[in-house]
Each structure stands twice: as C-alpha cells, then as structure tokens.
Chains A and B, each alone.
Chain A
Amino acid sequence: MNGFSFWTIWLRNGRVWKKNILSTLIGNLGQPLLFLLAMGYGLGRDMAPVVGLTYLQFIAPGLVASAVMYSAALETTYGSYTRLTVQKTYEAILMTPLGVVDLVLGEIVWGASKGMLAGVIMLLALPLFGVMPSPWVVALLPMLFLSGVFFSAFGLIMTALAKNYDFFNYFTSLVITPLFLFSGIFFPVQTMAPSVRGFLELLPLTPIVSLARILCYGRFGEPILLKILGSLLATGCAVWLAGYLLRRRLIQ
C-alpha cells in the first residue's frame, strides 16, 4: 500500500459513473423518495404522532439512511461483481503497481461516496415534503459516510463470495430488505418488547437510523456515543473481512 493510491480506482469509477449519471441517481433515489411519498404523506396524514413527530417527520431521517445503504450495497455487489468477472477490471488493476488493499479501499470508498451522495440528495429533498432539518444535520454527514463504508464493505464481502449474480438475491432478500423494514425506520424500536428491542438495536442500520433522527431534529433524548462506537467497530470488522475475502478470491 502506498498512501492514497486507492484514489486512482475511485477516479476510475467516477469516470464511468459520470457517463450513466441519470440512471444511477434514479435507481438509487427512486425507492426512498417513493416510500417517503406513499408512507409519509399518504399513510401518515391520518396517523397519530409517533414519539412527538408526525409520521412523515418520523420516517424521513431513516429513509435518508436507507438511501445510503441501498446505494452503497448495490454498488459493491452488482457493480463490483461486474468489474471482478465480466469486465476483468480488477485483473487489469492488479497488473499495475496497485495491490488488493488499494483495490478494496478504492471500491469501498467509492461505494461509500455514492451512498453519501444519495443520502445528501435525500436530505436536500426533505424540505420539499415540509420536513425542515435542524443545523445538527451537518453532524449527520460523517455518520452517513461511515454507514456507506459499512454497507460497501458488506456488499464487497458478498461479491467475494458470489458465484453468480443470483447469489445477490440472498443478500437483498435476506439482508437488505429486512434491514430496511426492521431498523426502526417505520416504527420506533424503543417501544418494542425488551428482547425484540435488544435484537433490533444490534442490527447495523438501527443505530444510524436513530442517529439520523436525533441529528435531523436536534432532539438528544438517548445516548449517542455507544451507537457511534458500535458502528465504528462493525465497520472496521466489515472492511477487514472484505479485504481478507477479496484477497482470497483474487490471489490463488
């Protein structure tokens, strides 16, 4: 590894992304925005406030976090797997001075950047729905990036294990969709039975959803340090495992 060599891989991905900018943005942002509209505006109009927020206000920050997750995880599964197999981009890169570590960092930071971009666009769109974030939302940005790193690394782990594209159906159906539904975006986990709550709090998206809601409205009710430290630890482990597995896949 040589400092910031991985940046050249980020630039490569950026160059390709620029060519298909519209389709990727719609792909990444379509779902969370439609959920915000249907659930928040459609369903939420007739609902009682949840923990002191309208239902639209309640789900908006979590949907921002989910946009990051989807964008990052899809980039390093379908996107990275295409580069690994069909396009042989990794093979070409490994014939240059760059190594597997550069490759893994480049791909993860790229996926996290795409996730971050989706999150920021979602945040910017919130006022259109009448949701006004507090100034604390600036502190949310590094957390969104961290979450992007985690889900990019998670996706890359799946890529390193995948035998074909169908393998990612497991990932989306058994990991990403359940996280989307059960990480406290649509209902408060605090009001669940303690055992269920404990389990849901351990899911990787839950602390980010909580932090997003706290920082979006500047309502510091619950402790945040543990959530940040837990996310950092999980992200570190995921990055390490992604590197280990991708190395095993690439270097025989």
Chain B
Amino acid sequence: MSSSRQFFLGEEQGIGYSGAMIQATSQQEPAPVRPGSQTVVSVTGLTKRFGERLAVDNISFAIQRGQCVGFLGPNGAGKTTCINMLLGLVEKSAGKIRIFDLEAPRFHREIKARIGVVPQADSLDPDLSVEENLRTYAGYFRIPRRLASQRVEELLHFFALHNRRDEIIEHLSGGQRRRLLLARALLNEPQLLILDEPTIGLDPQARHLIWERLAILQTQGTTMLLTSHYLDEVSRLSQQVLILDHGQVVVQGEPRQLITDMVGLEVFEVDGTAAELDALETSFRQCNATQERVGDKLYVYAREDCSRLVKVLGEAGSWVRRPANLEDLFIQLTGRSLRET
C-alpha cells in the first residue's frame, strides 16, 4: 500500500523513523471527493436525542467507495449510536441518511442486504458449530444453498478456520471467534463493511492476521467504516478519519495531514524533575514546537526539525523521540480527562 503504511509499521516496532518519510507522506493530497455514485454513505445533519441527552448532534459526513474511514472518539462520544442509526437499530431524531443512494430507514432491507457488520459484542450462536453459524447466517440473507456452501468454504479458508469447522463456538479462542465474526460479515459479499472494534481483546498475532485480511479486502475495493480505540489499527487501515466528541464531529480528514497540521512532525517525551523540565521547556522555545506538561513528563510537539536540540536532551534523564501519531491528535482534540459513562 502507500508509504504511510510502511511508515506506521516502522513506528510500531519503534525503529525505522526518518524525517524524509514524513515529508513524503505529508505531501500526499487528501483523497479527492468523487461525485455521485461513488458516495457509499452520505449523512447530513444526523441527530439523536435520548430524552434530554443529545447523543449525536447534527453530524454530517460521507464515505467514498473503496475508502476505509476511521470513526474515532472517547467512550460516549456517539460512535455506536451513529452506526446503529446507519443500521436502523436506533431511530434518528433528525437528519438524512443515504446508503448506496437509497434512503434509510425506508429501504433498510435493501441496504442491509449489501452491508456486512462485525459487532463489538460476540453474537455468534454458541449452540452451533463454526460451519453451522455461517450457513445459518447465509440463510438470513437468503443466499441460495449451493452458493452459500461455496462462500462458506472460501471464507473458512480465507480466515484459516477450515480445520475448526465442526467445533462448537465455546471451544474457539478469542481470535478465532473474531475471525468467524468477520467471515460471517462477508457472507453476503458486502459493499460496505462496518467494523466495530474488530480486534478488541486479541493478542498481537491474532490482530495482525485480521489486519492482513482486512488489507486484502481493501485492495479488492471493499468500503469500510472502522471504529477502534487502537489508534495504530486505525492508522494502518484508514485513509480518512473522523473524530467525534460529545456527539459532534471535531475533525475529519486524511490522518497524516491532520497530524502534521494539528500536532506536528515529531514528539519528544521527556521524564525528569520539575527543574530539569523547566530548563528544557526554555530551550525548546528556540524551536517551532508546542509543549505540554503532564505530571513529571514533558511532551514537545515539534512542527519543524528540532534535531539541533537533541544535545540538550542528552543531559536529561530519559527521553524518547518519535513521530507524531494519531493518538497525539486524538488526545489534543478530546483532552486527557477520563470518560466514564
């Protein structure tokens, strides 16, 4: 995929950072908005009230064909309510939803026939085997039996579940259940895949396997809407992000561009005593950077190359220099305070 993908791979492993790469990616233009039939989801002025509480407050966005849009926000920001309105599980209070150029909720049956959903909570049938789960779900879409058999076979192989086809769900690992949920979501060959925390609670091996499969689906042109609290996951998969907070869209755009524009190029995280950090703060004023003190930690978000100041840091206790990432952007926009609903 694009160079931004490689960049983030390097970042996760804590190696391979180079300023040149950042520049290469920051020059990328945001994906142009293509007209008409290329728009898979179009939402305008969407609002949901639960009694007095405004869960979703007049939000608008669009998802273009083939894109993966990351839907981010702290707990209670309105992400799930929004997705549930797209699926007709929550009735909207106001606004317009069009999916595949069909109006929702009026044409929900037609719309849902072309959507695949990986829900956050495991909703597999515990009494049925892996294969029976898929066959039963194919039945809900009224996929003819022979075609269903063929797809079940393909998906069992695609998600490396063919050796477990007769296993009861209870005996599957967390990763296998997630893969089965994904396989189930793909039975109807959806044109839009909605992924709600697709790798929650999985070990790194299981997460990587899922990412790899999702990347393959992306190259095949599947449009995706992804919510996740793992921002490295979102960075890997999404070409667009949309950050929600308190039911409103805080920002939307191409993630690399947003990070560069709103956070900076790279981040220095320094641990030290108050006196040391005070001294460093003064030094870093020579560079175009914003600074943030959290407890006994200093964050410096550099908007230009501050390499010349590295020697000052050498004297400080411990420090890390890393590229600015989506998590920095997220924290900057939604704050550091806990959200407990």
Contacts and interface: CB of A to CB of B under 8 A. Distances in A.
Interface of A: 2, 5, 8-9, 11-12, 15-16, 19-20, 87-89, 91-99, 250-252
B132 interface: yes
Interface residues of B, number: 31
16 contacts: A5-B142, A12-B125, A15-B132, A16-B127, A87-B123, A87-B126, A91-B119, A92-B124, A92-B125, A95-B119, A97-B140, A97-B142, A99-B108, A250-B89, A251-B89, A252-B91
Which 5 residue pairs across A and B have the least CB separation, nearest first? A88-B123, A96-B140, A92-B123, A95-B117, A8-B139
B292 interface: no
A202 B124 CA distance: 42
B159 interface: no
A16 B90 contact: no
Contacts, number: 76
Which residue, of A15, A95, A99, has the highest number of chain B Cβ atoms within 10 A? A95
Contact of A19 (B115, B119, B127, B139): B127
Contacts of B122: 88
Contacts of A12: 125, 136, 139-140
A20 B126 CA distance: 13
A251 B128 contact: no
B112 interface: yes
B165 to A, nearest CB: 15
Contacts of B109: 2, 97, 99
A102 B107 CA distance: 16
B145 to A, nearest CB: 12
Contacts of A5: 142
A204 B50 CA distance: 38
Nearest to B48: A252
Interface in B112-165: 112-113, 115, 117, 119, 121-128, 132, 136-137, 139-142
B87 interface: yes
Contact of B90 (A87, A93, A97, A252): A252
Nearest to A87: B126
Given A93-B140, A98-B140, A252-B91, A87 B125 contact: yes
Contacts of A15: 128, 132, 136
Contacts of A16: 125, 127-128
B87 A95 contact: yes
Contacts of B188: 96
Contacts of A95: 87, 89, 112, 115, 117, 119
Contacts of A98: 140
Interface in B52-108: 84, 87-91, 108
A2 B140 CA distance: 12
Interface in B169-219: 188
Nearest to A96: B140
Given A88-B122, A89-B123, A89-B125, A96 B112 contact: yes
Contacts of B112: 95-97
A92 B119 contact: yes
